[in-house]
A and B are shown apart, each in its own frame.
Chain A
Amino acid sequence: MTIHETIKEVQEQFKDVLKNARDPLMLEEVKNTFLGRKGKIAGFFSMIGEVPPDTRKEVGKMLNELKRSLNEQLELRYAEFQSEKKQKERVDYTLPGYVVHKGSRHPLTQAVDDMLSIFKRLGFDIAYGPEVETDWFNFESLNFPPNHPARDMQDTFYTEGGGLLRTHTSPVQTRYMAIHEPPVRIVAPGRVYRNEAISARSYCLFHQIEGLYIDTDISFADLKGTIELFCRMYYGKDVKIKFRTSYFPFTEPSAEIDVSCFLCKGKGCRVCKNTGWLEIMGCGMVDPNVLKVINYDTEKYTGYAFGLGVERMVMMRLGINDIRILFENDVEFLRQF
């Protein structure tokens, strides 16, 4: 048998054995048999002295080539075993993730935040006032004389000791002005109370945001510009706004503001009662009587005020037709937001 034939035979043997190796351990045996220190290839190398000197170089080369080839095949087989093993032990990543509870913000406080962030952009600071108010701040300072029919507009809860639950956030106006000189530019969020029977349409408390801007040369046109900007930022730039004359004791002239229904885009639907418009806030130029009360110079300063009801806006946006839902705090409701 020539050396060539011998090498060929070894190669065939190797292939068979390799094919039959079913695990890495058997592969280790194969490696020892053929490529170990006392393996077959090593045996060939030790016999190299027996071949004619002129072919030794060639035979050596062939043996090296054989060794490299067997090694390579072995490695490949090893790699196959490795990847099979990985496949088997891999975690089932389709299992659900660990539980992280979802929380939520109440839609009312969320809306207040949204609106305040717009007013902050428009240069308003935020101010606060107490919920238990005096008659003076809630009514008299705002130009509601005692025994005036305007007081009927706001049914009031009275508290022991002569206080009352504020019926609007407007007392923050006079509270703030009493301790600040103009310019005054604030919005005031908060809870207000009305002594009205609880129904789908009214609740004994709701949230308002009050706005106030007093300085020299502030006009109704400024008020309109600001409100329009706010509405566009809150409802989107296509919203239409309508002003109509109204009456509030603490503003003169006074207006109500309607915005085009965002649901039907003014065509008329259930939310807007087919009018295409939604009433969202009251506003006006601060009545000089109010400025006088806190000793502002009415010849020098003018200004505007506005007040919007948060519940109304939230209900319209979310399609809620019963205000009580907002105060029920059913977790199945709350978790939606």
Chain B
Amino acid sequence: MIVSIDWLKEYIDIDMPLEDLAEKLTVAGLECVVKEIGKSIPKGVVIGHVLEKKRHPSAEKLSVCTIDIGTGNPATIVCGAPNVEAGQRVPVATVGTQLTPDFTISKTKLRGVESNGMICAEDELNLGDDHTGIIVLSDDHEIGKSYNDYFSSSLVLDIDVTANRPDAMCHWGVAREISAITEKPFKKASIKLIEDGPEVDSIAKVQIDALDGCPRYTARVIQGIRIAPSPAWLKNRIESIGLRSINNVVDASNYVLMETGHPLHTFDFDKLKGHKIKVRFAQEGEKFETLDHKERELSSDMLLICDTKAPLALAGIMGGIESEVDDNTVNILIESAYFTPAVIRKGSKLEQISTDASKRFERGTDPNETLVYAQNRLAALIVELAGGSIAKGMIDIYPEPLETKIISLRYDYVKRVTGVDISPENCKSIFSHLEFTMISEDEDSLTVEVPTFRPDIEREIDLVEEVLRVNNIDKIPSMKKLTMSVAEECDKFHPFLTDIRNFFAGHGMHEAVNNSLVSKNIGDAGIWGYTPLNVLNPLSKEMDVLRTDMIQPLLITLRNNALKKRTNIRLFELANVIEKNDHVDTHAVEHFNLGVLCCSPLWGLNWTEEDKPADLFYMKGVLDHFLGNLNFNYKLKENTNRDEFEILYDIVIRKSIVGKIGKYVDGYFEKLQLQYPVVVMELQIGKLFNWYNPKQQYIPTPQFPSIFRDISLVMDKKSKAVTILNEINQHGGKYLVDLVLYDVYIDDTKLDKNKKALSFRLEFRSKTKTLKDEDVDNVMNKLFERLMNQYGAQLR
């Protein structure tokens, strides 16, 4: 929000540098910066006079204008605006003018006709959002003069007002803040109201059929006004905060809004059927055309201002075409009302309109003093500017006045919350400058009535905040000795995750952080087969569900990297995946998982080893190391449900599937032209954490030497290594402590072509004695016999 420094000075003396003022207001909660506005229109934009308008020979919507721009040499300009006419004074951006950093006006041809400049609309000059037509200026604008000369520059505060402070969205509010900070008095203008018209009740009526949406409605009628341009002082005020002057009545209404923060609405009284205002909720599907020329179909949550026939305005949000004040208006009705914030907010959300009025009503305006002041102020101002006489009396429907709040503040509570002593005098001074009414006080506390323009103040703690913020929150001394209640619980999960992250980073992988929002097909493709949870209002179709596994998003990352021709892609990520489950209140179950993906050489080009891919055996090795670190025994069970995998295993611990490990079919990612196979792994880390039992007791180190036995077995090519390993492990006897498969030999010239040779090294050791050969010979013989009988193994 913009407030003008000059304007502020009507209500408060400012005698400190503006930068300091901005800093003080910022610390007190009105985050702001000092700015100069007004001198923003580029020099090359000059006043032009449209001498002639002709139709473009080959484009229906374009016109060819001859425009006097004061150079003595009229310019030909092609214009697309519907409202351009001969005789108008208009702002013209001449050739060479830079309107935005990437838009400079140049000589061009538009559909075959040369154009030497551009007639500007509001939005092109940053004066507003309007792009429906060009700006048409009054005839007192001098041809050829720089348009910028018609804007006086002004110093303003650009304030970012938080949602709880509707009171600060006006000059009064900011002046009041400055008053509290600087302890200078805050002055309001007094109003001279002359009611010399007929009794208002005799000419107008107001009826509220929706008190829950509109607790108070006041109206005044002024007859015999003359709509005219605003006088210079008002124009300056309006333009000094970046608005555009329209006419005396509209400007006066905006002026009072920006002064008091209370939005007002003026209706053309003669356009009110039955001269009656009715406030009611819309009927479902009722139609209404708003000032922005949009036909709207309303919901029954929308509060309306109507006459006896039809709606006139979306209450507190936007007026309608029908009852708009125009150049011929002579009689007006001024509305100053209080609308229930939640109702206005709902309406503004439904119709997606946010206006100066709706922004204030939805945050909460003052239903009492300010409302009446604004009504009277505007009436008096209009008479001053546009003549006319004010009808006697103000229609005021306010059957159930909103209760004012009376709150006590205990000084020891202030101390308890802030940690510092703040004197009673200090507190009293602050509340008095903020226009709170002192009700009573004693040694330990004070009691104030909260002004009704402060809907944010409801409790004692809110008063503490007032004291703290006005006193400069930054100056509260910080506690040097920290109190520390020691938590009895000590989280183990995060350190667990950190260890995992460091483990994979230590194994040459890069940690990724992927978007949890993915497209539906990615969610459906998840390795766990979960139903994805839909996002009802997604940013795009690419992000309309939550991921159901870690692997699919890593595949997207793989793709993005492959498109950039990155190699050595080894990634891991730890995050939640979401399973839709209708039995929980959020319909979502979260699983904390680890995803790993490799598409990389094992080493890359080097001088010792032939380059190999980091294939499934690499991933199996990593898995083995990882789960070994955590003391988990696991099994791999082949999973044949997924065609895209050449091999996929379920990782099973305690009979429960805790992970997947697999290698994609070569060519599955054909388009990416990958150099290496894609191997992936996913583990349910949340589950492993729950089971994880950090190291038990130590095992004494071996005291006696080991005996080693190597055995090479020729067997069927189809037989699985894991079967033989299990067999040896199971029947290797009590001294077997280690088993290594150290060679796989396949050579059709030396072995039968259906055969292969596997070599194993067995390590035997006893805890109590030095083993002798005969201790293991027997076991080895039996083992071999077993393998021979069951698997047809032969010694090589």
Contact = CB atoms under 8 A, between A and B. Distances in A.
Answer yes or no: are A and B bound together in one complex. Answer: yes
Interface of A: 95-96, 98-106, 108-109, 113, 116, 122-128, 130-134, 145-150, 152-153, 157-163, 165, 182-186, 189, 191, 193, 195, 197-198, 204-205, 213, 215, 217-222, 224-229, 242-247, 249, 252-256, 285, 287-288, 302, 326-332, 334-335
Nearest to B605: A99
B162 A160 contact: no
Nearest to B568: A331
B538 to A, nearest CB: 7
Contacts of A335: 510
A169 B539 CA distance: 21
Interface of B: 26-29, 31, 162-165, 341-342, 345-346, 362-363, 415-420, 459, 461-462, 464-465, 468-469, 473-474, 476-487, 489-491, 493-494, 498, 501-502, 504-517, 533-539, 543, 546, 557, 560-561, 564, 566, 568-571, 574-576, 578, 580, 582, 585-588, 590, 600, 603-604, 606-608
B534 A327 contact: no
B513 A218 contact: no
A131 B576 contact: yes
Contacts of A133: 586
29 contacts: A105-B501, A105-B505, A113-B494, A113-B498, A122-B482, A130-B588, A132-B587, A159-B534, A159-B587, A160-B533, A160-B580, A161-B533, A185-B486, A191-B575, A193-B517, A197-B539, A217-B416, A219-B415, A219-B420, A220-B473, A225-B478, A227-B478, A229-B482, A243-B476, A249-B164, A252-B464, A288-B459, A331-B568, A334-B510
B478 A221 contact: yes
Contacts of A247: 29, 162-165
A123 B29 contact: no
A219 B26 contact: no
A133 B494 CA distance: 21
Contacts, number: 287
Given A127-B491, A221-B418, A246-B162, 5 more contacts: A130-B588, A183-B487, A244-B473, A253-B417, A253-B461
B483 A222 contact: yes
Contact of B29 (A108, A245, A330): A245
B478 A228 contact: yes
Indicate the member of A96, A249, A253, A302 with the most B CB atoms within 10 Å: A253
Given A328-B560, A334-B511, A222 B462 contact: no
Contacts of A122: 482, 484
B345 A106 contact: no
B417 A219 contact: yes
Given A244-B29, A247-B29, A285-B417, A331 B561 contact: yes
A159 B535 contact: yes
Contacts of A165: 535, 546
Given A150-B164, A157-B535, A242-B474, A332 B566 contact: yes
B479 A224 contact: yes
A261 B164 CA distance: 29
B539 A204 contact: yes
A113 B476 CA distance: 30
Nearest first, the 10 A-B pairs at minimum CB distance are A101-B508, A221-B419, A219-B419, A161-B587, A183-B485, A245-B29, A224-B478, A247-B162, A225-B479, A163-B586
B502 A105 contact: yes
A104 B510 contact: yes
Given A101-B570, A160-B533, A185-B487, A132 B586 contact: yes
A332 to B, nearest CB: 6
A132 B345 CA distance: 26
A127 B537 CA distance: 29
Nearest to B536: A158
B419 A103 contact: no
Given A221-B420, A287-B461, A331 B513 contact: no
Nearest to B475: A243
Contacts of A217: 416, 483
At the interface, is chain A mostly helix, strand, loop or mixed? Answer: mixed
Contacts of A127: 491
B560 A329 contact: yes
B403 to A, nearest CB: 18
B533 A329 contact: no
Contacts of A189: 494
Contacts of B509: 101, 103
Given A126-B493, A205-B516, A329-B513, A103 B418 contact: no
B29 A246 contact: yes
Contacts of B162: 246-247
A179 to B, nearest CB: 11
Contact of A205 (B515, B580, B606, B608): B515
A147 to B, nearest CB: 4
B418 A220 contact: yes
Given A123-B487, A204-B539, A191 B516 contact: yes
A101 B487 CA distance: 40
B32 to A, nearest CB: 11
Contacts of B346: 147
B517 A101 contact: no
Contacts of A134: 585-586
Contact of A99 (B341, B419, B606): B606
B471 to A, nearest CB: 10
Given A126-B493, A245-B28, A329-B512, A149 B363 contact: yes
Contacts of B580: 160-161
Contact of A116 (B29, B342, B494, B506): B494
B607 A109 contact: no
A330 B465 contact: no
A177 to B, nearest CB: 13
A134 B585 CA distance: 8
A312 to B, nearest CB: 15
Contacts of A153: 163
A215 to B, nearest CB: 5
Contacts of B576: 131, 191
Nearest to A147: B342
A225 B537 contact: no
Contacts of A125: 487, 489-491
A122 B172 CA distance: 45
A222 B419 contact: yes
Contact of B416 (A149, A197, A198, A219): A219
A149 B588 contact: no
Contacts of A105: 501-502, 505, 511
B546 A159 contact: yes
A106 B513 contact: yes
A285 B363 CA distance: 23
A330 B510 CA distance: 10
B163 A149 contact: yes
Contacts of A255: 473
A183 B485 CA distance: 6
Contacts of B487: 123-125, 183-186
Contact of B566 (A158, A162, A256, A330): A330
Contacts of A146: 342
A126 B493 CA distance: 9
B345 A147 contact: yes
A270 B500 CA distance: 37
Contacts of B561: 329-331
Contacts of A219: 415-420, 479
A103 B546 contact: no
Given A183-B485, A244-B29, A287-B461, A221 B586 contact: no
Contact of B417 (A130, A158, A256, A302): A302
A127 B561 CA distance: 35
A224 B482 CA distance: 10
Indicate the member of B459, B473, B481, B491 with the most A CB atoms within 10 Å: B473
Contacts of B507: 101, 103
Contacts of B603: 98-99, 101
Contacts of B569: 331
B429 to A, nearest CB: 18
A146 B506 CA distance: 48
